[in-house]
Chains A and B, each alone.
Chain A
């Protein structure tokens, strides 16, 4: 039977079922319930929960624990994730798997605890230094908070990358019925990790390479890996797209508002659809390019100043108008507002 749960609680169920054994974190609204839930369930089940002294310490504990072969995670919200950035870059540079949940709030600065989607650039375009990428899932329901976290550890281990679950304050705080897999996944032994035994003694986890050729070879191998990831795990969802003349493009909470707006506009005879990236890296460039020759316009609905819209524009290469429908400052538009804005612009 499905359970009614908060997105933030479902994450921890998904993580434990996905084989995560170590949680290191630091509290911050609106992500704190994840840490609360982890403190209860990780401790009770003989896994490890540790409240670190800061996000910086937490992410470095992740680097250590993951290098020792464990499936590990942390959770935070925007300012906390910003603090982790240096080490996220180390994680990428040393090919270490990790899972980070970012329940986005409003910025810049202390902003406030309401939802925004303005960590898009930070999580997708760097945050930390250097040429690197994170795999980024964008859940839009409590079920996806659980499902994405469940599979995040397999994916992180497979590609030896950092996987972000990029949620927002509403997806984290809301409750919905959710069901869980009953098969518990487990980490397998990793030939590169440090196990404090003879077999792994020669292993070295580092992002430092003192020779120019080796250094650039490491970046090449990262780029090859990212290309592979783009081929293999891109996910998206289409609603009423097949006969649509205009489509919304939205992720997370924005896509929920857009979904209701699609129904409303269709009732009024306007043929709109919804295209929802479930992975933001890899970004569904190919499918968007295809759709660019099928529809008249794209309307990117985001709680920021048009960060994903920039990626959509790159994907469709000026074949059609890409409209930016932006709200920020903790404001989630009503369906009526989105409907009106849409009618005015098409």
Chain B
């Protein structure tokens, strides 16, 4: 058991630990105790213990919070860099430490560490590489050496059966953002001294808001290596240090550059950005006609503006004082012959937004007429884009209109307004809301301002066509 003459970043007695409150829970000769001490000393020297938040991994150091008199949290296996990212992105002045083993960091958590490093998160990562899974009793780690025996490599790690060991510092060093990458070793007293320096440097980097620092520490796990403390130091120097080169890979002053977080908007500014104003509309101040529930299906192929004309219609219904819903068809069906928007408007609260039996069908192409003609309610209305649909409606129990919308739109110079022409025609023919409402909605609904004019002209064309139609 390791006894500490304690840095103040350690608790005096480890009350969270329960019995044996003066000693750590690590095995004799374990490297974790040494690394803890180096970190605690650096925290002391820098006077940062209030700012530090430790993210403990899953592994032998899950219980780090027994010891460190700092903010502490315990993370799911491998996810400490993501948890630390969440903290660091929330508290600008925090010093966040992700402390991880090799199973945690290079195995299950490979994705989280690489992406946190790549984003240059303001974190300090201490990666304790003991080439084995300690906590679970000595299984192979991603860093286990070729030939090394473990519970899951009883015949030694074999490259074909088990894959090659991973060099994490080298991997992290391929990324643009990190400012500091160093591999240290606890093999000798000199190595421990070097580790102390690297630990402090990595913490300083974060204090100075430089960016992401990564310190890998080769560390003994006597218990699972099945050696005593002395043997394990020797094995570490002769084997681990051979494969994992001890050196500084990177020590930069600055990380990646960019815009970063924009200024935090006040409540009033946020309301403006969201365009939220108090809802002053009430149910009785609009004198709308009683339409019961009115269901429209607008169908055609992609590129005919089916969806946005549906939105225009739902907006008109809203502005005319009705409840309204808009539902798109989407997914694979959009790639086929017909895409359609379903719009329901009602004086009452609307039930299903799905339109199975439309009161009005706007058929912009032939597949749409074929697909939906029979579903229109008796006495309902079908408006056909007769520029594209050559056949006539066969049903006799519905009102039918033929509008050469695509040809008209081409004449206006904007083919995409065909459905808008029909919408204007619809407004006149059904009389549920006036064309004035449609005209008022266009500038709000159409995002690209340069098309507003053309759409207004399309509305006029549809309107005039209806007036002629009646004659």
Q: Interface of A with B (CB < 8 Å)?
A: 1-4, 13, 16-17, 21-22, 24, 29-30, 41, 43-48, 50, 52-54, 56-58, 60-70, 72, 86-87, 90, 94, 112-114, 170, 173-177, 179-180, 182, 184, 194-198, 200-208, 210-211, 253, 256-263, 332, 334-336
Q: Is the CB of B278 within 8 A of A182?
A: yes
- Report A-chain residues with C-beta under 8 Å of the C-beta of B62: 208
Q: Is the CB of A44 within 8 A of B328?
A: no
Q: Is the CB of B262 within 8 A of A46?
A: yes
State in angstroms the CA–CA spacing of A184 and B326 once bound together.
28
- Report A-chain residues with C-beta under 8 Å of the C-beta of B55: 64
- Report B-chain residues with C-beta under 8 Å of the C-beta of A336: 356-357
Closest to A214 in B: B18
Contact of B90 among A29, A68, A201, A332 (CB under 8 A): A68
**Is B306 an interface residue when CB atoms closer than 8 A count as contact?**
no
Closest to B307 in A: A175
Q: Is the CB of B49 within 8 A of A194?
A: no
Closest to B351 in A: A260
Q: A64-B83, A180-B276, A334-B356 are in contact. List 5 more A-B contacts (CB 8 A).
A: A53-B111, A56-B82, A57-B82, A203-B72, A335-B356
- Report B-chain residues with C-beta under 8 Å of the C-beta of A175: 311, 314, 325-327
Q: How many residues of chain B get a CB closer than 8 Å to chain A's CBs?
A: 75
Given contact pairs A1-B277, A201-B49, A208-B62, A16 touches B74 in the complex (Cβ within 8 A):
no
**Is B28 an interface residue when CB atoms closer than 8 A count as contact?**
no
State in angstroms the CA–CA spacing of A66 and B271 once bound together.
24
Q: How many A-B residue pairs have CB under 8 A?
A: 241
Complex interface: stretch among B91-99, B233-241, B383-391, B450-458: B91-99
Given contact pairs A45-B264, A48-B89, A257-B354, A207 touches B52 in the complex (Cβ within 8 A):
no
Q: Interface of B with A (CB < 8 Å)?
A: 16, 18, 49-53, 55, 62-63, 65, 69-76, 79, 82-91, 93-95, 111-112, 115, 261-265, 267, 269-271, 273-281, 311, 314-315, 318, 323-328, 330-332, 349-354, 356-357
Given contact pairs A64-B85, A65-B86, A196-B91, A46 touches B263 in the complex (Cβ within 8 A):
yes
State in angstroms the CA–CA spacing of A190 and B95 once bound together.
20
Q: Which of A62, A64, A205 has the most CB atoms of chain B within a 10 A radius of its CB?
A: A64
Closest to B58 in A: A208
- Report A-chain residues with C-beta under 8 Å of the C-beta of B70: 201
State in angstroms the CA–CA spacing of A68 and B73 once bound together.
10
Given contact pairs A60-B112, A64-B84, A256 touches B93 in the complex (Cβ within 8 A):
no
- Report A-chain residues with C-beta under 8 Å of the C-beta of B18: 210-211
Contact of A46 among B51, B261, B279 (CB under 8 A): B261
Given contact pairs A61-B85, A180-B276, A195 touches B91 in the complex (Cβ within 8 A):
yes
Contact of A179 among B75, B84, B93, B279 (CB under 8 A): B279
State in angstroms the CA–CA spacing of A50 and B121 once bound together.
12
Q: Is the CB of B354 within 8 A of A332?
A: yes
Q: Is the CB of A206 within 8 A of B65?
A: yes
Closest to A69 in B: B90
Q: Which of A47, A50, A60, A259 has the most CB atoms of chain B within a 10 A radius of its CB?
A: A60
Contact of A184 among B73, B93, B271, B354 (CB under 8 A): B271
- Report A-chain residues with C-beta under 8 Å of the C-beta of B323: 176-177
Q: Is the CB of B79 within 8 A of A60?
A: yes
Q: Is the CB of B71 within 8 A of A259?
A: no
Minimal beta-carbon separation of A170 from chain B (angstroms): 7
Given contact pairs A24-B86, A64-B55, A259-B351, A56 touches B79 in the complex (Cβ within 8 A):
yes
